[in-house]
Amino acid sequence: MALSIDFTYLDQMISPARRREIAPEILAAQKTLLGKSGAGSDFLGWLDPAALNSPGELSRLEACAERLAAQSGAVLVVGIGGSYLGARAAVEYLVSPLYNSIPKKTPDLWFVGNDVSASHLAEVLSACRGQEISVIVISKSGTTTEPAVAFRVLKKELARRYGGDAASHVVAITDRARGALLAMARAEGYETFVIPDDVGGRFSVLTPVGLLPIALAGVDVRSLIAGAADAASFCASPDFDSNICLQYAAARNLLLRAGRSVELFCGWNPCFTMTAEWLKQLFGESEGKDHKGLFPASAAFTTDLHSLGQFIQDGSRILFETVVSIGEDTASLSVEAEDGDPDGLNYLAGMPLGEINHRAERAVAMAHRSGGTPSIILTTPSRSAYEYGWMLYFFEFACGVSGYTLGVNPFDQPGVEDYKKNMFALLGKPGYEALAAQLSNK
């Protein structure tokens, strides 16, 4: 396993015996998921990571990444939700949350089209001044407002810079057979990759949606896929006592039933911050239906101990923590002794910062447990692509099992469509005139 689980800081609230009591429900949900017999079963292509990309398509994707890297100082990735979160999370986790600022041989990556802020897009274009640029546009339909607006602006910029050669600076990742973006790609001659029909956006990180930007950052995507494939074999085991994915799903469902309605995803390294954002979409969009589900939130420690720490320790007893701990730090800085001990830190002399961080993890978990906030600790040995792929799949599988245990369809998102319809109406999109009239009277 590339991930281990520790229930030490949970057991006084949800005992091992209690987790085993719910095992039949969890195993039934696992069977439904693996048997593709539940609601949303048309969107389970992610279950087999090794089959998501054929060898030929994976080689073509790697070649495309090399081409874009050779011609670009910066690549703008246009997408929203699952069309950008997984890729950005992986780049920040596996390379650096300061990716665009560090010395490297790969191009800068800017993620745009995930808002409609004029200043954000203008600032990104300003940051790319003087660099050759390319664009990866990701959309199943090509008509989702935020990325479509951004892409229209970027097409104009590419045409201004490159004229008739602008198409060679665009890659479209879209539907196999239909949609506005596919039609545009065919008309303009963009290189294209397919979003599989049976994979929803929030589960798409191991498809070209995530893999092309991740490969551009120099990450070994084959190792990422290998980790996920090994996790798939592990998570399919029906042995509840050895399957930590099933145990995690059981614990979080029991905590919800006990009144803990918020799951706080916590990391102890800034590299985890965007992964927590990916997790918030994964679980929030999958489970938040029919007035059910845990509310996913996140905290970055130790930073947020100086803002949220008081509430976690002593506020309303509504939450529990799922903590992701990285075993080995990538840097080896230590505290050095100073004459006179001016800041009182000589007691830490010789201690690596990574060890200080791990001891802080344990101290905080102990404090939160004593204050009545339980924690589930997940530990991964290091920041490797293999281990990260394993962790991504672990959470995806746990999400599917948890959703079926909860009694919802984990693979649709009907609530998201409501805001889109209202936005189309208020923006004056043709076909939404009646709704616009209704909204104007509210």
Q: Which candidate, 309, 296, 310, 301, places its Cα nearest to that of 260?
A: 296
Whether 285 is catalytic is yes
pLDDT at 233: 98
Q: Averaged over 21-42, what is the pLDDT? A: 97
pLDDT at 72: 98
Identify any residues that bridge with 137 across adjacent strands, giving them in sequence order: 78, 172
| Tokens 């978990």 sit on residue | 365
User: By the 8 A CB rule, do 39 and 290 touch?
Assistant: no
pLDDT at 329: 81
pLDDT at 356: 94
Q: What is the DSSP letter of 324?
A: E
pLDDT at 130: 94
String of DSSP letters for 139-181: -SSS--HHHHHHHHHHHHHHHHHHGGGGGGGEEEEE-SS-SHH
pLDDT at 66: 98
Q: Averaged over 387-399, what is the pLDDT? A: 98
pLDDT at 291: 96
Q: What is the DSSP letter of 30?
A: H
Cite the beta strand spans of 327-426 per DSSP E: 375-380
Q: What is the DSSP letter of 266?
A: E
Write down the mean pLDDT value for the chain: 95
Q: How far is CA 33 from the centre of its chain?
A: 21
38: Cβ contacts below 8 Å, ≥ 6 apart: 32, 404, 409
Count other C-beta atoms under 10 Å from residue 120's C-beta: 15
* pLDDT band per the 50, 70, 90 thresholds, residue 421: confident
Radius of gyration of the chain (CA): 23
Q: Averaged over 250-263, what is the pLDDT? A: 97
Residue 250 pLDDT more than 80?
yes
Lowest pLDDT segment from 38-52, 101-115, 233-247, 415-429: 415-429
Question: Which one is catalytic: 285, 287, 361, 396?
Answer: 285
* pLDDT band per the 50, 70, 90 thresholds, residue 429: confident
Question: Which one is catalytic: 336, 420, 421, 433?
Answer: 420
From residue 119, give the alpha-carbon distance in Å to each of 83, 115, 145, 274: 21, 10, 17, 22
Identify any residues that bridge with 325 across adjacent strands, giving them in sequence order: 379
57-82: burial string, b at 16+ Cβ within 10 Å, e else: ebeebbebbeebbeebebbbbbbbbb
* pLDDT band per the 50, 70, 90 thresholds, residue 422: confident
pLDDT at 428: 85
437: Cβ contacts below 8 Å, ≥ 6 apart: none
User: By the 8 A CB rule, do 266 and 67 touch?
Assistant: no
pLDDT at 342: 96
Residues in the chain: 442
Q: Averaged over 181-185, what is the pLDDT? A: 97
Q: How far is CA 100 from the centre of its chain?
A: 19
Residue 238 pLDDT more than 80?
yes
- State the virtual CA torsion across 206, 274, 143, 192 in degrees, nearest 10: -40
Residue 415 pLDDT more than 90?
no
pLDDT at 373: 97
pLDDT at 105: 96
pLDDT at 280: 98
* pLDDT band per the 50, 70, 90 thresholds, residue 425: confident
- Cα–Cα distance for residue pair 206/208, rounded to 1 Å: 7
Helix (H) or strand (E) holding 419: helix 414-427
Q: Averaged over 122-132, what is the pLDDT? A: 96
pLDDT at 418: 76
Q: Averaged over 39-60, what is the pLDDT? A: 96
195: Cβ contacts below 8 Å, ≥ 6 apart: 138, 140, 173, 174, 175, 176, 204, 207, 208, 209
Cite the beta strand spans of 195-305 per DSSP E: 262-267, 295-300
Residue 438 pLDDT more than 90?
no
Whether 191 is catalytic is no
- Cα–Cα distance for residue pair 100/123, rounded to 1 Å: 14
User: By the 8 A CB rule, do 3 and 228 touch?
Assistant: no
pLDDT at 281: 98
Q: Averaged over 162-190, what is the pLDDT? A: 97
Q: Averaged over 397-408, what is the pLDDT? A: 98
pLDDT at 416: 73
Q: Averaged over 384-392, what is the pLDDT? A: 98
From residue 385, give the alpha-carbon distance in Å to each of 2, 37, 58, 227, 322: 11, 32, 16, 7, 21
Query: What three-state secondary structure class fits 321?
Result: strand
> Would you say the C-alpha torsion 169, 143, 203, 123 has a positive or negative sign?
positive
Nearest 5°: phi and psi at 433?
-65, -40
Give the model confidence (pLDDT) of 296-310 as tens digits: 999 999 999 999 999
Ordered alpha helix ranges (H), 8-98: 16-21, 23-35, 55-71, 85-94
Q: Which candidate, 143, 135, 150, 142, places its Cα nearest to that of 181?
A: 142
